[in-house]
Amino acid sequence: MKVVVLVKEVPDMGKVRFDTEKGVVDRSSADAQINPFDLNALQAAVDLKNLYNGEVTVITMGPLRAERTLRDAYARGADNCVLLSDKHFSGADTFATSRTIAAYISKLYDYDVIICGEKSIDGDTAQVGGEVADILNIPHAYYVEKINSISDKEIVVTINSLCGSKQLRKMKLPALISVTKNINRNELPTVKRKLKSLKIQVEKFGLSNLIDYISEEDTGFKGSPTKVIKVVVPKEKIKECKVYKDDFRGFFSDVLGALKDKKVL
Amino acid sequence: MKTHSGVLVIAEQCFGDIHRVSYELLGKGREISQKLGSPLYSLILGGEGLNVEELNYCGADKVFYMKNKCFEKPEEFLFKENIVRFIEEQKPEVVLIGATSFGRSCAPRIAASLKTGLTADCTDLYVDEEGNLIQIRPAFSNNILAHIKTITIPQIATIRYKEFNEGKRDTNRGINITVLDAYVSLNDKSEIIEIFKDSDFDITEAKVVVSVGRGIKKKEDLEMFKELVELLGGHLGASRAIVDAGFIGSAHQVGYSGSRVKPKVYIACGISGAPQHIAGMKEAELIIAINSDSSAPIFNYADIGYVGDLYEIIPKMIQALKNNK
């Protein structure tokens, strides 16, 4: 069972600062970390590997420092760590990113399942999974909360919500799934694996390694059909909250007034 | 002469009912099409018997109804294949899709097939002086708003539900419906085995949501909240902690990794207000917070607050509401 996991490196949202005046995100204000949603994707892959004697390849695209994120993925159970890094790749939107990742996966050739997290906490688009699946011409399912079964040829998954219903879906392999946070609980890396992760070789691929699968003009900023023209950082609105304590009558009459006002009662 | 013209709204239907986001897309789409001086089209894919004239009434100049049994169940590949073929023939310059769970799963495939850009989960749109569609979307966990331009055609965006007003319904508007058959109706790579509901409600449609968080001690304590919910005609929501603890199903989960809700009234009970939870409810029209900790961040987002013990306040509220009837 060959499982590919797509991960993204994101800033720590609790610490990252936003400049309301300039409208920029100060990425240097916070450490980079593995996108929290991707930890569930990685765990799902590691669980499959443990059940079916498989191999987990983690792919990320980013600057060279993203190696650290891949070492973290190794510590958590990945076998192969792949970094797609090249100056031509920078400034990529979701489509250019998906094309680059799909180019690497086409080169990899032998894989059964691709697993992604539900979305990233920075871009928040949830687009790369579907785009990669389409470029590779394989089926996909989003919002997967359970992998019911998997064989050499097919996978059966439970989709949490599509049109307000759950769905049990069977797909031929290879296929791509994106998983919700409810699919599993992340296990912490062992000390032994953490230590080993510092010594492993991270495989690096640049444009020249992928040139049979993608051309320069389809990568990075140049290959991106969407362009961010402006970023606005809205000031967080703090409401004037009317807080009551030891005055239930006062509180309730306010609540009642509001409920009537909103035509709820 | 432009090679592409017209604004295309992909209307969504869920098991035979047209999703309301479709009418909101028509409302905004009308505005965009007037700015561009081009017509507003709507495409809907579904089985027999859809009320597609409603799409005309709510603003579409022309409705295309692609009718086939294969569209009765939501499966991305078939929808995408057919939508892409339609777009290639019709050549719209703008395509709007609802950012529903299905829309967000389908749209990346559509855009990738057309080798064009896609902007996800937009909360606003406008047309700039050169006639480009500028798409505004929150990113970085709702901390910033990015203005995005697409340099390829068509410009495709998914649009958040409940951001725009529905197109004004006018039954005098002319009916113009073209029925089409599916280009492709089989996908041998994917098969829906079963569709089932684990809940008979959709929390995103609720007018009132009463949510519980870590402030409750055990599963049985949910009963009093259910009683409150019943009195208010709402739905019960929960923070992730309560879902993780197994107290309640994930259909109730409100927040960044659960559902984003926009009810008239949101009552947060024993919820401290972690950013992940706030992201899912801060757009409620009115927020009431009850928490024993007066420094809980939830009070920064609430309109009315009460500092006190849930186990004392909730029964009192239930009694007071009953007395009020």
CATH number, position A109 = 3.40.50.620
Domain for residue A43, yes or no? yes
Fold type of domain B7-180: Rossmann fold (3.40.50)
Spell out which residues of chain B touch residue A168, defining contact as CB-CB under 8 Å. Answer: 192-196
Task: Find, in chain B, the residue whose alpha carbon is nearest to that of A235.
Answer: B143
Domain for residue A237, yes or no? no
Instruction: Return the pLDDT at B286.
Output: 96
Q: Is the pLDDT of residue A27 over 80?
A: no
Instruction: Return the pLDDT at B1.
Output: 58
Spell out which residues of chain A touch residue B149, defining contact as CB-CB under 8 Å. Answer: 226-227, 229
Q: Tell me the mean pLDDT in the region A42-66.
A: 96
Domain for residue A48, yes or no? yes
Spell out which residues of chain A touch residue B115, defining contact as CB-CB under 8 Å. Answer: 95, 225
CA distance B34 to chain A (A): 23
CA–CA distances in Å: residue B272 to residues A236, B92, B215, B236, B302: 18, 47, 8, 17, 11
Q: Tell me the mean pLDDT in the region A33-44.
A: 96
Q: Is the ipTM of this complex over 0.85?
A: yes
Spell out which residues of chain B touch residue A226, defining contact as CB-CB under 8 Å. Answer: 117-119, 148-151
Cα separation, B118 vs B133, in Å, equals: 12
Domain for residue A246, yes or no? no
Span A4-21, pLDDT tens digits? 999 999 998 878 887 777
- Considering only the beta carbons, identify the residue of A135, A172, A255 that sits closest to B304: A255
Span A153-200, pLDDT tens digits? 999 999 998 988 999 999 999 999 999 998 999 999 999 999 999 999
What's the pLDDT band for B192 if we cut at 50, 70, 90? very high
Task: Find, in chain A, the residue whose alpha carbon is nearest to that of B275.
Answer: A14
Q: Is B152 left (phi over 0), alpha (psi -120 to 50) or beta?
A: beta
Nearest to B270 by CA among B250, B287, B293, B249: B293
Nearest to B253 by CA among B243, B268, B245, B261: B243
Partners of B150 in beta bridges:
A226
Span B242-253, pLDDT tens digits? 998 999 988 899
Q: Tell me the mean pLDDT in the region A230-243.
A: 85
CB contact under 8 A, A251 and B304: yes
Instruction: Return the pLDDT at A150.
Output: 96
In what helix (H) or strand (E) does residue B145 lie, and over which residues does it extend? strand B144-150
What's the pLDDT band for B143 if we cut at 50, 70, 90? confident
- Considering only the beta carbons, identify the residue of B118, B149, B316 that sits closest to A127: B118
Span B26-60, pLDDT tens digits? 999 999 999 999 999 999 999 999 999 999 999 99
Span A125-160, pLDDT tens digits? 999 999 999 999 999 999 999 999 999 999 999 999
What's the pLDDT band for A233 if we cut at 50, 70, 90? confident
Domain for residue A241, yes or no? no
Span B153-166, pLDDT tens digits? 999 999 999 999 99
Could you give the angle at which helices B101-114 and A94-108 cross, rounded to 10 degrees? 70
Q: Is the pLDDT of residue B199 over 90?
A: no
Instruction: Return the pLDDT at A236.
Output: 72
Q: Tell me the mean pLDDT in the region A64-88.
A: 97
Q: Is the pLDDT of residue B141 over 80?
A: no
Q: Tell me the mean pLDDT in the region B140-164.
A: 93
Q: Identify the burial level of B285 via C-beta atoms within 10 angstroms of its C-beta, where 0-12 means exposed, 13-18 middle and 19 or more buried.
A: middle
| Interface mutation target, options B189, B199, B203, B319, chain A, most CBs of A under 10 Å | B189
Nearest to A38 by CA among A115, A95, A123, A122: A115
Task: Give CATH 3.40.50.620 domain extents, chain B.
Answer: 7-180
Binding-site members of B are 214, 239-240, 253-257, 270-277, 291
Domain tally, chain A: 1
Binding-site members of B for FAD are 214, 239-240, 253-257, 270-277, 291
Spell out which residues of chain B touch residue A238, defining contact as CB-CB under 8 Å. Answer: 300
Span A109-127, pLDDT tens digits? 899 999 999 999 998 899 9
Percent of chain B beyond pLDDT 90? 90
Instruction: Return the pLDDT at A136.
Output: 98
How many CB pairs below 8 A link A and B?
259
For residues A60 and A8, is the Cβ–Cβ distance under 8 A? Answer: yes
CB contact under 8 A, B257 and A165: no
Nearest to A109 by CA among A140, A66, A151, A138: A138
Percent of chain A beyond pLDDT 90? 83
B203-324 has which CATH code? 3.40.50.1220
Angle at A110 between CA A217 and CA A101, to 5 degrees: 25
Domain for residue A261, yes or no? no
Span A188-226, pLDDT tens digits? 999 999 999 999 999 999 999 999 999 999 999 999 999
Domain for residue A258, yes or no? no
CA distance B171 to chain A (A): 28
Spell out which residues of chain B touch residue A40, defining contact as CB-CB under 8 Å. Answer: none
Instruction: Return the pLDDT at B94.
Output: 98
Q: Is B120 left (phi over 0), alpha (psi -120 to 50) or beta?
A: beta
CB contact under 8 A, B117 and A225: yes
CA–CA distances in Å: residue A85 to residues A93, A100, A225: 15, 10, 20
Task: Give CATH 3.40.50.1220 domain extents, chain B.
Answer: 203-324
Instruction: Return the pLDDT at B149.
Output: 96
- Considering only the beta carbons, identify the residue of A126, A163, A224 that sits closest to B102: A163
Q: Is the pLDDT of residue B227 over 90?
A: yes
For residues B28 and B38, is the Cβ–Cβ distance under 8 A? Answer: no
Domain for residue A240, yes or no? no
Q: Tell me the mean pLDDT in the region B11-20.
A: 96
CA distance A66 to chain B (A): 19
Instruction: Return the pLDDT at A23.
Output: 66
Report the SS3 class of residue B239: coil
Domain span at residue A26 reads 2-218
CB contact under 8 A, B146 and A139: no
Question: By mean pLDDT, which of A31-45, B195-209, B288-302 is the weakest?
Answer: B195-209
Nearest to B79 by CA among B184, B179, B161, B194: B184
Q: For all residues of chain B together, what is the average pLDDT?
A: 95
